[in-house]
Amino acid sequence: MSTKLKDLVKKEDVLTSGHRLCAGCGAPIAVRQILMGAPDDVELVVANPTGCLEVSTTIYPYSSWNASYIHCAFENAASTISGSEAAYRSLKKQGKLDDDYRFVVFGGDGGTYDIGLQALSGALERGHRMVYVCYNNEAYMNTGIQRSGATLKGSWTTTSPHGKESYGKTENRKDLTGIVAAHNIPYVAQASIGNWRDVVKKAQKAFDADGPSFINILAPCHRGWRYPMEKTVDLARLAVQTCVWPLYEIENGEWNLTTKPKEKKPVEEYLKQQGRFAHLFKEENQEVLKSIQEYVDKEWERIKRLSGEKE
């Protein structure tokens, strides 16, 4: 399938305009880029857990989705889509349905890293053919910027505020992509909305996979990260250039780096553009800044090693 812009722009939008996400929100960009990788000759069922994307795209009696859509609850998008996919297989094998369908979830990091992790793990283990996309903005944005398992160390959120005795979130994020990869599913990837062609390629592979696939896509939120709204895509790109968010894929167990920054930029360049990290640039938080760089370096080396890259 083509990843040429002139071909991709001809594809019909599945998420249409008129939704009520914030101007400058990373989530609909992620959705559009991913769905550019969906095959043309299939129908889609889209599921959302509770979150920004859900509340802003299906305000009754309107819907922005030019596809079948389901929202059930917060922690169960993966199990809800499991049921839909099982129904599809059942009806298809009984000859009650002719059309070809693909099943795709767009869940935030709250609904994926944290409250929805069990349902996701179960669905991956059972092998449902679905594309699970985590649009990762590193906090619970729908409820007003609370920390999640995806929030970077040092980050301010409303439940990890910095104060006299605190520099913000004290824990490093969990490696969800690695956790998903440990389920040995056909396709797992990390992506960023700052690298659109890479996203489309990965989405194409994810939709092609004969089984579950997972894409963890960085989708910045200017309300939560505290930066000017026009910088969303720039920040998503900078996260890759600083190796805070490495782009890689695991195809049938094979790790591959899909983007190697020409010059690895210091993490500070990324952090200083965001209000959520502003307090880290105070004298007393120098050590925290250092530890974030160390964490990023260590993770980057680990992923390079797994991907067979030379040191």
Partner 1 sequence: MAVKNSKTVAIVGNEAVAEAMRQINPDVVAAYPITPQTDIVQAFSAIAADGLVDTELVNVESEHSAMSACIGAASSGARVMTATCSQGLGLMWELLYIASGLRLPIVMPNVNRTMSAPINIHCDHSDSMGARDSGWIQLFSENAQEAYDNIIQAVRISEHPDVYLPVMVLMDGFIISHAVDRMDMIEDEKVKNFAGERSAPFTMLDPNNPACVGAFDTLHGYFFEFKRQQEEAMANALPVIKNVANEFEKISGRSYGLFETLGMEDAEFAVIAQGSGAGTIRHQIECLRSNGIRAGMIKLRSFRPFPAEELIEALSGVKTVAVFDRSTTFAGGMGGPVFNELRSSFYEQENKPLMVNYVYGLGGRDLSVELVKKAMEEILAMNSSGKAEQKINYLGLRE
State which of residues 3, 13, 63, 255 lies at the interface with partner 1 (CB under 8 A). Answer: 63
The answer to whether residue 294 forms part of the interface with partner 1 (CB under 8 A) is no
Q: Which x/- pattern over 125-164 shows residues binding partner 1 (rule: CB under 8 A)?
A: xx--------------------------------------
User: Quick check: 86 and 124 in contact, CB under 8 A?
Assistant: no
State which of residues 4, 18, 86, 308 lies at the interface with partner 1 (CB under 8 A). Answer: 86
Give exposure, 267-285, as e/b (b: 16+ Cβ within 10 Å): bbebbebbebbebbeeeeb
Return the axis-axis angle of helices 27-35 and 196-208, rounded to nearest 10°: 60
Q: How far is the CB of 92 from partner 1 (least distance, A)?
A: 9
Of the pair 105, 218, the CB lying nearest partner 1 is at 105
Reference 189, options 260, 256, 119, 103; nearest CA is 256
The answer to whether residue 119 forms part of the interface with partner 1 (CB under 8 A) is yes
Choices 2-10, 65-73, 184-192, 217-225 (CB under 8 A): range interacting with partner 1: 65-73
The answer to whether residue 256 forms part of the interface with partner 1 (CB under 8 A) is no
The answer to whether residue 59 forms part of the interface with partner 1 (CB under 8 A) is yes
Q: How far is the CB of 167 from partner 1 (least distance, A)?
A: 36
Choices 60-68, 170-178, 190-198, 296-304 (CB under 8 A): range interacting with partner 1: 60-68
Choices 92-100, 232-240, 262-270, 299-307 (CB under 8 A): range interacting with partner 1: 92-100
Phi-psi region of 82 (alpha: psi -120 to 50; beta: other; left: phi over 0): alpha
Distance, CA of 132 to CA of 73 (rounded, Å): 16
Residues contacting 49, CB < 8 A, separation 6+? 71, 72, 73, 74, 75, 76, 77, 105, 107, 108, 111, 112, 115, 116
- Give the amino acid at 111: G
Q: Which x/- pattern over 29-48 shows residues binding partner 1 (rule: CB under 8 A)?
A: --------------x-x-x-
The answer to whether residue 94 forms part of the interface with partner 1 (CB under 8 A) is yes
Residues contacting 271, CB < 8 A, separation 6+? 154, 277, 280, 281, 289, 292
Q: How far is the CB of 141 from partner 1 (least distance, A)?
A: 16
Q: Sign of dihedral through CA atoms 302, 146, 45, 43?
A: negative
> What residue ranges bind partner 1 (CB under 8 A)?
43, 45, 47, 54-55, 58-61, 63, 65-73, 75-76, 78-91, 93-94, 97, 99, 101, 118-119, 121-123, 125-126
